[in-house]
Amino acid sequence: MEARDALRTTGASRVFTPEPVTDDTVAAILDDARFAPSGGNRQPWRVAVVADAAQRGRIAALMRPVWEAYVGAGAGGNTPFAFGLDSDAAPVAAPNALLDDIDTVPVVLVVAADLSKVALMDGDLDRPPITGGASIYPFCWSILLAARDRGLRGVITTFLSRAEPDATELLGLPAGHALAATIFLGHPQHQATRLRRNDVASFATRDRFDGPAFGADGG
Ligand SMILES: Cc1cc2nc3c(=O)[nH]c(=O)nc-3n(C[C@H](O)[C@H](O)[C@H](O)COP(=O)(O)O)c2cc1C
């Protein structure tokens, strides 16, 4: 499909039809996604393609308390787990189709990053680093786009990162690696056609972040 259409219409899908996705298709998706950019072209990604039902169940069990803590922390309108947010909100049980039905999701990919291959440009600043993610999340996004090109949809999730200490042994995560994302893919039951996103003028400014708005309305 047209790149611009793909960029504008690849929304998150969390509910899938039972139609299976072959290993060959998953391999082809990863074969496209590997062309994603990364700092120094060091390609820090590792992927566990998790098909085993018991393994999936254990992954979902690790994710569930994170999900419930996330829902609880967001109940007051905050961004859960945001930097500087000191939330002691109680967990809230809530349905989550991905976790409740993880055994029926056609494809579950756990993506890790080899930290020895990631330059943390902002690692010494007095705030949590963010630049390291830039060497792994373009790869994750390319997985969604490559899936989309094959009629598949999915969603990037990060619940499992919060449970990384417990997930390490379960997944055989190598030392010095970080869990970046768990990606769910399949044939979607619903396809969003119009994504809700903020206008360019709401986030782009001229010359400085406190400069005049840039964009169709901002000039
Ligand atoms: C870094 C990242 C983490 C995300 N984590 C989750 C998640 O844990 N669970 C989930 O259901 N969706 C998750 N999402 C999907 C977002 O909720 C979704 O991209 C956003 O709401 C926009 O949805 P839309 O594209 O359908 O409009 C995540 C997306 C990103 C990029």
Mean pLDDT of 185-191: 93
Give the model's pLDDT for residue 126: 96
Helices 137-148, 23-33: inter-axial angle, 10-degree rounding = 130
> And the tokens for 137?
């999340």
Give the model's pLDDT for residue 178: 98
Q: How far apart are CA 116 and CA 83, in angstroms?
A: 24
Mean pLDDT of 118-135: 97
CA of 11 to the centre of ligand 1 (A): 9
pLDDT digits (tens, 9 = 90+) for 27-37: 999 999 999 99
Mutate to test the pocket of ligand 1, among 71, 110, 141, 156 (most ligand atoms within 8 A of CB): 156
Give the model's pLDDT for residue 218: 47
Mean pLDDT of 59-69: 97
Give residues (CB < 6 A) around ligand 1.
Answer: 11-12, 14, 155-159, 192, 195-196
Query: At CA 35, angle to CA 119 and CA 3, rounded to 5?
Result: 115
Residue nearest to atom 16 of ligand 1 (CA): 12
The sign one gets for the Cα dihedral 85, 79, 111, 132 is negative
Residue nearest to atom 31 of ligand 1 (CA): 156
pLDDT digits (tens, 9 = 90+) for 130-154: 999 999 999 999 999 999 999 999 9
Beta bridge partners of 114: 177
Give the model's pLDDT for residue 84: 87
Give the model's pLDDT for residue 217: 55
CA of 89 to the centre of ligand 1 (A): 22
What global pTM score does this model have? 0.96
